[in-house]
Every structure is written in structure tokens, then in C-alpha cells.
């Protein structure tokens, strides 16, 4: 959930939101914020006591990274899965020999050890050699007062390889101006991260639980 949405929900309901993270491959919960301890919007908190977490270079899957650097989140502990049933190739790709589980999530830590999920590695957009994380762009778009929902996908480009395209749903009764959305993004993002295309849509493709399906955004293209 974008931080702007979290603050709005907390203000409306008068209670704190507890952000957490988990995977089926862990049997559920892997990291969480605490109810009474310090909390940081946008962070999944810290690993549960029986788990270890590390951020490693997403290319080699082994080299540890310092706080603030983005890499793959890996988890090790007694609740990690033994493997995918009937799929040894996928198991070998996800489980390292020393017990670490490759989550496929790109993340970073801060100086206090809080973990921040940046995006899914498969959703990374590479524009002229620069990495663009759709979730970062979506958080910025969500801060626009006229935006109800936003998702960022990729489109092919002959020169730069891929470009970021924003699909935006307006709040009820609001008419969004693309030029205004672009100014909003340029004031908050590095130039190479700003979406190169915008499309105002009535809704976004979602799962039965309401999670946005980025892989299906191309079906909205006009």
C-alpha cells in the first residue's frame, strides 16, 4: 500500500496500520512491524525471531549488500519450504544449498534494520540501462490528489529497450490532466524514472483479492 494511502486510512479510521510480509513458501508470515514498537510507513518491519534475512546482489545471489542498497531479499529458517511438488527445476532455482530461500522480491534495509520491499524482480523495467521500479512510480502517482489507483507497466522501445507507462484511475468526479500528472512526477522523481506514457483508465486488472495484475496491464493499451 502506498504510504500516502496508509496515512489517509489511519487518519480516517483513527488506528494504526501494521504492515507485514509473507510467502506461501514460508507457510505465511515472514516479517512484520510491531504494535507497540517503532513503525515506519513503507517498511515490512523486521524478520520474525526464528528467521534470518539478508539482502544480496540480485545478479549473483550471494554477495551481501550494505544498508540502502537494493538487492534480492533472501530468507532462511525452519519454516521454509522443502520444495515445489513435482518441479525440481523450480526448487533448485529458489532454494540455495545453504538453506537460503530466494524470494524474488527486491528490497533494501535502513540503518535500523527495517526492511523495505522495493518491487518484484520480474517487474523491473530497464530503460537505457537504468533500473526503474514500478512500485516507486506508483507511490508517487498515488500522492496526486486526483488519483484513486495507479499501476505502472512496460512498453517496448526501439531506442531504450523499455519505457515505463502509467495507467491511472481518477477519483470519482475528478477529470485528470495528463500534463499535470507529468509535472507531479517530474517534481518528485529523477528524470529517467518519470513515466514516458500515461493512460487514464476506468479500472485496473486485479486478482480476486484486489491485487493489481501488472502483467495484464497491456490489455488496457489504446
Q: Give Cα separations from 38 to 32, 82, 167 (angstroms).
A: 12, 34, 34
- Residue partners of 79: CB distance under 8 A and separation at least 6: 26, 27, 50, 51
What is the value of pTM for the model shown?
A: 0.78
Domain boundaries, the chain: 3-118, 124-220
Inter-residue contact 121 to 72 (CB < 8 Å): yes
Looking at the DSSP assignment, which residues form a beta bridge with residue 45? 115
Question: Span 124-220: which CATH code?
Answer: 3.30.300.30
Per-residue pLDDT tens listing for the chain (222 residues): 778 888 889 999 999 888 999 999 998 899 999 888 888 998 999 999 999 999 999 777 778 899 999 999 999 999 999 999 999 999 999 999 899 999 999 999 999 999 999 998 889 999 999 999 999 999 999 999 999 999 999 999 999 999 999 999 999 999 999 999 999 999 999 999 999 999 999 999 999 888 899 999 999 987
CATH superfamily of the domain spanning 3-118: Luciferase; Domain 3 (2.30.38.10)
Say if strands 161-170 and 71-76 run parallel, antiparallel, or are unpaired: unpaired
Amino acid at each position: 500500500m502506498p504510504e500516502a494511502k496508509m496515512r489517509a486510512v489511519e487518519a480516517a479510521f483513527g488506528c494504526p496500520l501494521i504492515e507485514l510480509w509473507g510467502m506461501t513458501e514460508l507457510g505465511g508470515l515472514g516479517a512484520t512491524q510491531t504494535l507497540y514498537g517503532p513503525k515506519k510507513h513503507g517498511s515490512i518491519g523486521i524478520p520474525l525471531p526464528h528467521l534470518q534475512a539478508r539482502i544480496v546482489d540480485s545478479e549473483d545471489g550471494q554477495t551481501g549488500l550494505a544498508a540502502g542498497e537494493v538487492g534480492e531479499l533472501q530468507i532462511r529458517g525452519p519454516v521454509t519450504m522443502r520444495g515445489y511438488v513435482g518441479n525440481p527445476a523450480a526448487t533448485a532455482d529458489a532454494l540455495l544449498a545453504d538453506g537460503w530461500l530466494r524470494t524474488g522480491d527486491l528490497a533494501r534495509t535502513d540503518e535500523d534494520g527495517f526492511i523495505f520491499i522495493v518491487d518484484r524482480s520480474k517487474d523491473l523495467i530497464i530503460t537505457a540501462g537504468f533500473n526503474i521500479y514500478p512500485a516507486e512510480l506508483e507511490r508517487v502517482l498515488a500522492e496526486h490528489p486526483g488519483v484513486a489507483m495507479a499501476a505502472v507497466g512496460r512498453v517496448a522501445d526501439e531506442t531504450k529497450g523499455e519505457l515505463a507507462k502509467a495507467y491511472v484511475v481518477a477519483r470519482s468526479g475528478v477529470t485528470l490532466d495528463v500534463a499535470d500528472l507529468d509535472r507531479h512526477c517530474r517534481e518528485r522523481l529523477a528524470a529517467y524514472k518519470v513515466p514516458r506514457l500515461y493512460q487514464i483508465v476506468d479500472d485496473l486488472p486485479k486478482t480476486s483479492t484486489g491485487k493489481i495484475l501488472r502483467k495484464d496491464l497491456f490489455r488496457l493499451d489504446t
